[in-house]
Chain A
Amino acid sequence: MVSSQVDTQEVLMEIRNVDRAFGGVKAVDNVSMDLRAGIITTLVGPNGAGKTTLFNLITGELSKDSGTIKWLGQPINRIKPFQAARAGILRTFQDLRLFNEMSVEDNILTSIEANSVPLPMAKSQRKARREKVEYALSRTGLIDKRHIRAKDLAYAERKFLSMARVMATDARLWLLDEPASGLDPNSYEKFLEILREEVKQGVTVCIIEHNLDIVIGISDRIAFLDRGKLLADDEPQTVLNDPDLRAIYFGERT
């Protein structure tokens, strides 16, 4: 049901033959895939499959050994992380990397201040900025915690702050690295709801996720990585029903 709709979506990001090795171990091995607009692509695979490394290669955190990545038709092979962000590609981190000593509000505020030069701002600009912060705070339920330091938040709140930083921006593509891991059922219901809502409003998401319930619940497309190789990139049902992939996926759990 989704497939025809999904396949006609515009390709935002085109990843071709990307390689990266660490000391002889191929972390990402000749991966090619597309990220299409307005859908959620889920990256699954055992630990050490190269999922996070792929994110790092996209945003320029790590350099590729070879291969190309195009964003909106333009090659972004030598992009730096801050340029990726300004081009509309934002990511979260598995270990969150919040601005720990800063307040919740400042975490969000600094995430949307592209320009660090303290120039006087027009009133409308300031208002727009304030609204974005308020929006992210209220959507993630952090509105009462705005003055609390990020490091003093509870675990789930920290996860939501990590999301709020991204939500307040105008980025087109979100790369989310296990944003729901360790969340209690209530929190992840809330998290899924936020994510669906944002995608409806036009955001494109690529998400790394281990929890099968979440994977089934949100994916429009699933890419399966194992030991750096892309084993499948297809509709959720096709990937989830593939016996070989199931063996790899559940094999590592035992």
Chain B
Amino acid sequence: MLALQLTITGLQTGALYALTAVGFSLIFGSTRIFHFAHGATFIIAAYLFYFVNVSGYGVVLGIAAATAGAIAFGLLLNRFVYVPIQRDEGSFFTVFVASFGIGIVIQNIVGMIFGRGFVTVQTPLSFSVELMDGLYVSPLAWISMLCAVVFFGILWCFLRYSNLGLSLRALADNPELVKAFGLNPRYISACAFTIGSILVVPAAIISGATSGLNPAMGHHVMLISLAATIVGGIGSVAGTLLAGLALGLAESLALLYVDSQWTEAVTFAILFLFIIVRPSGLLGRSAAH
């Protein structure tokens, strides 16, 4: 029964990981921008929702604020930080450092406003219901999984059937195609940032009610996103999704054997194993260069 309990918790965590990680993976895959501030997008969305919620404006406005904040942050960062850097050399690491710096700024500003400790969004949805003898599941678990199914369903249709989606996918596989297809890279990257940032929102909001928030969790979000992107295969959205889900499950099931402070070690072990054994990831092509 414990295993089943942990599996359900793991699926809940994994669904949220998958959403966050796919957001990063999509941006990275199609623009090659190492968007380390993706963790900051998560923080902004989570705290905006938390703020609107505790101020008594309700869930709908909270979701709207979180979504608007996440998209605005993604687009502004792209426009005012990444684009100016990329106009010149635009090396991978210059972008990474700038992004990283912004992440630190956001973490500390949020810390100064809301405090550095944990805060939790209070909702009756987080109360667990006993489904069977000894199996407790909160409605949030179902909501997480439902969110993942809905968002990925929409994303899948978009990537499969729309022209823009097709170009994003082609770019993820071979960035040089931008020129060959005569696509406007500015437009494509703005779209990638919008979609990538939206995908973070459900995970950020639900995490506020389940695991709680703290300003430094952006790094944890990034570790998961990076690990899932690599384990899934760089450039593969489906791979990242699977990997995110698997990482959540593995973290949860690991509790059968180790204490909770070692859950991040499980993520690292899986990431490291893949780098050694299968660097191209679950569904990726050769990564050797």
Segment among B52-60, B167-175, B260-268 that sits at the interface with chain A: B167-175
A62 to B179, CA, bound (A): 19
Contact status B173-A23, CB under 8 Å: yes
Contacting residue for B177 out of A22, A63, A80, CB 8 A = A22
Q: Are A61 and B170 in contact (CB under 8 A)?
A: no
Known: A22-B170, A23-B169, A23-B170. A61 touches B289 (CB 8 A): yes
Closest to A49 in B: B180
| Interface assignment of B286: CB less than 8 Å from any CB of chain A | yes
Whole-angstrom CA separation of A47 from B88 in the bound complex: 24
Known: A48-B180, A63-B285. 19 other contacts (CB 8 A): A22-B170, A22-B173, A22-B174, A22-B177, A23-B169, A23-B170, A23-B172, A23-B173, A23-B174, A25-B170, A25-B177, A27-B174, A47-B179, A48-B177, A62-B286, A63-B286, A80-B288, A81-B289, A100-B89
Interface CB pairs A-B, < 8 A, 9: A22-B173, A23-B169, A23-B170, A23-B173, A25-B177, A48-B181, A62-B286, A80-B288, A81-B289
Interface mask (B78-92 → A, CB under 8 Å = 1, otherwise 0): 000000000001000
Residues in A70-84 with C-beta less than 8 Å from chain B = 80-81
Indicate if the CB atoms of B180 and A47 lie closer than 8 Å.
Answer: yes
A191 to B179, CA, bound (A): 27
A67 → chain B, closest Cβ, in Å? 15
Q: List B149-204 residues whose CB lies under 8 Å from chain A.
A: 169-170, 172-174, 176-177, 179-181
Mark interface residues in A38-73 (1 if CB within 8 Å of B CB, else 0). 000000000110001000000001110000000000
Chain B residues with Cβ below 8 Å from A25 are 170, 177
A81 to B285: give the CA distance in the assembly, Å.
17
Interface centre among B89, B169, B181, B288 (most CB of A within 10 A): B288
Chain B residues with CB below 8 A from A23, complex form: 169-170, 172-174
**Interface size classification for chain B:** 10 to 19
Chain A residues packing against B (C-beta within 8 Å): 22-23, 25, 27, 47-48, 52, 61-63, 80-81, 100
Q: How many angstroms from the CA of A61 to the CA of B180 in the assembled complex?
A: 19
Q: Top 8 A-B pairs ranked by shortest CB distance?
A: A48-B180, A23-B173, A22-B174, A63-B286, A22-B173, A23-B170, A23-B169, A47-B180
Nearest residue (CB) in A for B285 is A63
Output the residue of B173, B174, B179, B285 with the most chain A CB within 10 A.
Answer: B174
Closest Cβ of chain B: how far from A154's Cβ, in Å?
18
CA distance A183 to B106 in the complex (A): 47
Interface residues in B266-288 by Cβ distance below 8 A to A read 285-286, 288
Closest chain A residue to B235, Cβ basis: A23
Q: Smallest distance from the beta carbon of B132 to chain A beta carbons, Å?
A: 45
Please indicate the chain A residues that have their CB under 8 angstroms from the CB of B169 in the complex.
23
User: How far does the alpha carbon of A160 sit from the alpha carbon of B198 in the complex, in Å?
Assistant: 47
Residue from the set A22, A47, A48, A61 with the largest chain B CB neighbour count within 10 Å: A22
Minimum C-beta distance from A79 to chain B (A)? 12
User: Can you name the residue of chain A whose Cβ is closest to the Cβ of B179?
Assistant: A47
**For the complex, what is the distance from the CA of A80 to the CA of B170, rounded to whole Å?**
25
Residues of the A chain whose Cβ atoms lie less than 8 Å from the Cβ of B173: 22-23
A243 to B169, CA, bound (A): 36
Q: Which residue of B lies closest to A100 (CB)?
A: B89
CA distance A32 to B169 in the complex (A): 29
CB-CB nearest in chain A for B171: A23
Task: Report the bound CA distance from A27 to B174 in whole Å.
Answer: 10
| Shortest Cβ gap from A229 to chain B (Å) | 16
B236 vs chain A, min Cβ distance (A): 10
Within the complex, what minimum Cβ distance (angstroms) separates B137 from chain A? 39
A80–B286 Cα gap in the complex (Å)?
Answer: 12
The docked-state distance in angstroms from the alpha carbon of A63 to that of B286 is 7
